[in-house]
């Protein structure tokens, strides 16, 4: 993205500036005739320690009272760590109404600069453009003199800064202290300023399970030769578009040991039985999030034993996912109905198409038995077998696949026999570190593990008896690292921290001083061992 301004863009900036200063713009930036006067040398400002990070709260008009008739308009772009600066001149007295400013006269110049910033300092390259007529239908005849010197822009705080310049073609250099013309963004700037030295900043988690922004080869980020046709074709395994739920749990014949995918989004609490997901794999659903109704997709792959919940990112009308009929590492590949991009479920990323490399917004799920979920959330809704399809939901469609060592489709690294291929493991990825916690290795009661994976302080809560496992970042936004211990017989509460706060299975504090706070979700979910090691080979096994 280029920030190099065109003359009409600069004209807009200058119009805004002249309005805010109460001045009538009369000359272009840095007329060659008055430059020696306007650029009079200023006292050198003493160096100061950076106390802020450049931010959008600095976007404003700036000037130096000692050098009336000129000023600076500054725009900070934090997303790309760039700064744009326009250096302009103006009259300090408003002329008569019939006076017309003739801009674009010979010798007039635009002077703008752009470049990267680090901390409180930006190093900008000057662009001087000659010619062009302001606010005119005449075609501009501008000639860019790119790279004509440098400007260093340094801020001491949200009210004062220093411009150091060296303009090659004009042979001018010096320093100008600057201050705001209107102080209306000081509060915003201070709120965005970096914390003081030695303040803790919680490390941002990886955005993806694997390599961030993986390379694209043959229009895909996975090997095309390792994608297999599962047989049914697109939507041959039909997603549920209008899922039906019931609160009358006594009417269901669902076995208490049957696995379900449990979801708690706001006040919406729902359970999706495996015996239905085995036949449909994708449920396009709707939840109330922050008071608004939003679409989300619950997806489950019976061949890899993995379940996720993704928020919809698409425009109304095409907010759903379908089953593509394709598999990678024996795992479900979906497609979105807005762009027909393909999405790898276990990579949680688009692997081909217009959305390639995109990562969905992910919500926490808890996979456990129906009996455990009912004990946690007796008020839950339950997905019913009233799906509109004729399926024997009491039958498992893949025979003895859940218990034997065989695979129906190829998977990389499937010969890692450190565990049974179909062992259900809770896996987590942090950077290049990958670790799994076999569900059956947890104690019968609830067990809590405080440890470090990669550079992340995590807490793992699980139970072999209750058949669940979850893992969260135990470093809070205020950089407090909590230590947890297990809590028994208080489901859905599963752990208590060293401050005395109780936390539920979704990582929410439900009692104590931190009530309402949320532990950060990690790149983690439950799957079969062979699938986890196929996607993330060499994973460490918790002993």
| DSSP line for 183-229 | -TTHHHHHHHSPPPTT---PPPPPSSSS-SSPPPBTTBSS-GGGEEE
What pLDDT shows up at residue 197? 63
- Which of 3-7, 40-44, 226-230, 379-383 comes out lowest in average pLDDT? 3-7
| Residue range 172-209, pLDDT digits in tens | 899 999 999 888 888 889 888 876 666 677 888 888 99
| Pair 368, 439 in one domain | no
Q: What residues make up the domain containing 500? A: 424-541
Same domain, 229 and 186: no
Considering the domain architecture, whether residues 333 and 445 belong to the same structural domain is answered as no
- Single out the residue in 146, 172, 192 at which a domain terminates: 192
Of residues 142 and 55, more confidently modeled: 55
We report the CATH number of the domain holding residue 450 as 2.102.10
Residue 356 confidence (pLDDT): 96
In a domain, 418, yes or no: no
Give the mean model confidence (pLDDT) for residues 87-111. Answer: 61
Q: Which two tokens stand for residue 40?
A: 């009079």
Per the structure, the count of domains in the chain is 3
Kindly tell me if the per-residue pLDDT of 251 is higher than 70.
yes
Q: Is 369 contained in some domain?
A: yes
User: Chain-wide mean pLDDT for the chain?
Assistant: 85
Are 156 and 109 within one domain? yes
Indicate whether 187 and 242 sit together in one domain.
no
Per-residue pLDDT tens digits for 34-92 = 333 333 333 333 334 446 889 999 998 998 888 767 789 999 998 889 999 998 776 55
Examine the domain organization and report whether 253 and 375 are in the same domain. Answer: yes
pLDDT digits (tens, 9 = 90+) for 288-333: 988 889 999 999 999 999 999 999 887 666 789 999 999 999 999 9
Closest CA to 471 of 367, 361, 343, 332: 367
482-494 burial, b at 16+ Cβ within 10 Å, e below that, comes to bebebbeeebbbb
**Cis upstream peptide for 476 (omega within 30°):** no
- Residue 311 belongs to a domain: yes
The whole-angstrom separation of Cα 175 and Cα 164 is 4
Identify the bridge partners of residue 63 per DSSP, sorted by sequence position. Answer: 179
Q: How far apart are CA 246 and CA 252, in angstroms?
A: 9
Residue 524 is predicted with a pLDDT of 98
- Residue 214 belongs to some domain of the structure: no
Evaluate whether residue 253 is within a structural domain. Answer: yes
My answer on whether 16 and 115 are in the same domain is yes
**Contact indicator for 154, 161 with CB cutoff of 8 Å:** yes
* pLDDT above 50 for 112: yes
pLDDT band at residue 110 under the 50/70/90 scheme: low
CB 47 within 8 A of CB 171: no
Domain stops at, among 350, 383, 416: 383
Integer Cα distance of 6 and 104 in angstroms: 14
What mean pLDDT do residues 126-134 have? 63
Percent of the chain, pLDDT > 70?
81
More confident site: 187 or 222: 222
Asked whether the predicted pLDDT for residue 22 surpasses 50, the reply is no
pLDDT at residue 69 in the model = 72
pLDDT confidence tier of residue 111, bands split at 50, 70 and 90: confident
433-438 and 540-541 beta bridge pairing: parallel
Per-residue confidence band for 33, with pLDDT thresholds at 50, 70 and 90: very low
Do 133 and 271 lie in one domain? The reply is no
Query: Do residues 242 and 365 both lie within one domain?
Result: yes
| Residue 263 near residue 363, CB atoms below 8 Å | yes
Q: Is the model more confident about 27 or about 247?
A: 247
Decide if pLDDT at 361 tops 60.
Answer: yes
- Indicate if 151 and 274 belong to the same structural domain: no
Please check whether residue 486 lies inside any domain of the structure: yes
Q: What is the mean pLDDT of residues 105-128?
A: 79
One domain for residues 237 and 347? yes
The verdict on 250 and 342 lying in the same domain is yes
In the 3-class helix/strand/coil scheme, how is 94-130 assigned residue by residue? CCCCCCCCCCCCCCCEEEEEEEEEECCEEEEEEEEEE
Full-prediction pTM beyond 0.85?
no
Give pLDDT tens digits for 330-357: 999 999 999 999 999 999 999 999 999 9
Residue 288 lies in a domain: yes
Domain final residue pick, 383, 409, 442: 383
Residue 90 belongs to some domain of the structure: yes
Q: Quick check: 58 and 155 in contact, CB under 8 A?
A: yes
Report the helix count and the strand count for the chain, using DSSP H and E.
6, 34
């Amino acid at each position: 993205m280029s920030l190099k301004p065109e003359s009409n863009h600069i004209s807009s900036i200058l119009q805004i500036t002249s309005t805010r200063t109460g001045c009538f713009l009369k000359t272009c930036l840095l007329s060659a005739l008055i430059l020696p006067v306007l650029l009079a040398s200023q006292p050198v400002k003493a160096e100061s320690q950076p106390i802020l990070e450049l931010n959008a709260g600095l976007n404003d008009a700036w000037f130096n009272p000692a050098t009336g008739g000129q000023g600076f308009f500054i725009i900070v772009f934090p997303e790309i760590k760039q700064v744009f600066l326009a250096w302009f001149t103006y009259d300090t007295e408003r002329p008569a109404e019939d006076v017309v400013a003739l801009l674009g006269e010979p010798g007039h110049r635009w002077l703008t600069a752009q470049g990267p910033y680090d901390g409180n300092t930006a190093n900008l390259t000057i662009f001087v453009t000659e010619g062009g007529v302001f606010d005119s239908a005449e075609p501009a005849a501008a000639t860019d003199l790119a790279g004509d010197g440098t400007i260093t822009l340094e801020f001491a705080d949200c009210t004062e800064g220093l411009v150091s310049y060296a303009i090659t073609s004009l042979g001018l250099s010096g320093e100008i202290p600057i201050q705001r013309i209107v102080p209306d963004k000081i509060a915003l700037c201070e709120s965005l300023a970096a914390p003081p030295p030695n303040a803790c900043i919680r490390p941002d988690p990886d955005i993806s399970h694997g390599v961030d922004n993986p390379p694209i080869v043959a229009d895909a980020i996975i090997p095309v030769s390792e994608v297999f046709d599962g047989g049914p074709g697109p939507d041959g395994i039909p997603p549920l578009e209008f899922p039906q739920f019931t609160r009358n749990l006594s009417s269901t014949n669902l076995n208490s040991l049957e696995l379900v995918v449990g979801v708690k989004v706001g006040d919406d609490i729902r359970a999706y039985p495996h015996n239905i997901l085995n036949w449909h794999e994708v449920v396009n659903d709707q939840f109330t999030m922050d008071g608004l109704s939003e679409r989300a997709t619950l997806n489950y792959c019976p061949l890899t034993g993995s379940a996720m919940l993704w928020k919809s990112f698409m425009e109304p009308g095409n907010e759903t996912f379908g089953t593509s009929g394709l598999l990678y590492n024996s795992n479900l590949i979906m497609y979105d109905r807005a762009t027909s991009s393909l999405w790898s479920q276990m990579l949680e990323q688009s692997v081909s198409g217009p959305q390639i490399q995109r990562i969905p917004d992910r919500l926490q799920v808890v996979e456990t038995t129906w009996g455990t979920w009912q004990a946690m959330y007796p008020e839950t809704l339950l997905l019913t077998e009233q799906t509109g399809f004729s399926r024997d939901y009491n039958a498992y469609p893949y025979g003895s696949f859940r218990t034997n060592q065989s695979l129906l489709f190829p998977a990389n690294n499937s010969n890692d026999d450190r565990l049974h291929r179909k062992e259900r493991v809770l896996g987590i990825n942090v950077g290049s570190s990958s670790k799994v916690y076999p569900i059956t290795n947890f104690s019968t009661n609830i067990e809590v593990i405080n440890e470090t994976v990669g550079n992340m302080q995590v807490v793992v809560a699980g139970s072999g008896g209750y058949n669940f496992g979850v893992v969260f970042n135990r470093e809070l936004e205020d950089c407090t690292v909590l230590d947890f211990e297990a809590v028994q017989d208080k489901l859905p509460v599963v752990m208590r921290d060293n401050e005395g706060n109780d936390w539920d299975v979704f990582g929410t504090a439900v009692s104590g001083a931190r009530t309402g706070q949320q532990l950060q979700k990690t790149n983690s979910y439950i799957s079969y061992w062979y699938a986890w090691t196929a996607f993330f080979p060499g994973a460490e096994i918790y002993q």
